[in-house]
Amino acid sequence: MPPHAELPPTSFDLALFDLALFDLDGTLVDSAPDIHAALDRLMARLGLPPFARPEVVAMIGDGVRVLVERALAARGQPFDEAALASFSADYTARAAEATALFPGIAAMLEALEAAGWRLAVCTNKPAAATAALLGALGLAGRFAAVGGGDSFSTRKPDPAHVQATLALAGGSPDRAIMIGDHRNDVLAGTGAGLPCIFAAWGYGTPAMAEGATAVAARPEELAELLPALLARPRTGLGGAALGHRLA
């Protein structure tokens, strides 16, 4: 799908399958090593100091433009389109050198598929870098839909990003759940009318779980947690509305 494609219609038919929509960075994959390396290469080209890993992790989650904006601002520099283009080309070409699935993710995806779930990715990472990374990790073709940060005219935390990815996958909001490690995932998922599971193994701080329907400490918990959430009433999606937050 070309960048900034028109949003697909979101008047959903009732799907005959359950759908799990996953964030990518910090949820399915530990991509911080390659993002860190690409940022440090950009800083070296600009004659600026490199970053510590915690600095980079704190910048991830809002898309590549914001990432580069934050990196340049941290070094006292204004945003520069040429720096963004340089970073994007370099990172896309080397996105999977040190990136790997988080422990437990591969088995969790297999368990969900065996139980009849379809899978989708809704990420603020650009579509080209997302495709390159999924291909390098052997995940190309595994997902019913992949909604990148430039796949549509909007991105998380806008709920329309989740809705567009859901429609692309042929899913239905009443049979879908969002899983992610960032406040953007919680805001976009719940805003789209979906329960949202906060992935506590990822990069987000505990405060980012506010508003999530449930919190999972490990990927292994999802095989039981997802169907349990689908069975619950949808009258309010936040943890408090459900009486307690599952963990």
- Tens-place pLDDT, residues 12-40: 555 679 999 999 999 999 999 999 999 99
Indicate whether 135 and 55 sit together in one domain: no
**β 29-30/145-147 pair status:** unpaired
Structural domain total, the chain: 2
Question: Is 23 annotated in the active site?
Answer: yes
Indicate whether 43 and 109 sit together in one domain: no
Q: Which residues pair with 161 in a beta bridge?
A: none
**183 touches 160 (CB < 8 A):** no
Domain assignment present for 8: no
pTM of the model: 0.90
Q: What residues make up the domain containing 215? A: 19-30+99-230
> Can you give the pLDDT at residue 233?
82
Domain assignment present for 12: no
> Can you give the pLDDT at residue 232?
87
**218 touches 244 (CB < 8 A):** no
Indicate whether 172 and 82 sit together in one domain: no
Q: Give helix then strand counts, H and E, for the chain.
A: 9, 8
Q: Can you tell me whether residue 19 is helix, strand or coil?
A: strand
Indicate whether 112 and 215 sit together in one domain: yes
pLDDT at 41 over 90: yes
- Exactly one of 23, 25, 34, 181 is catalytic; which is it? 23
> Can you give the pLDDT at residue 234?
72
Indicate whether 79 and 135 sit together in one domain: no
**Longest C-alpha distance within the chain, in Å?**
55
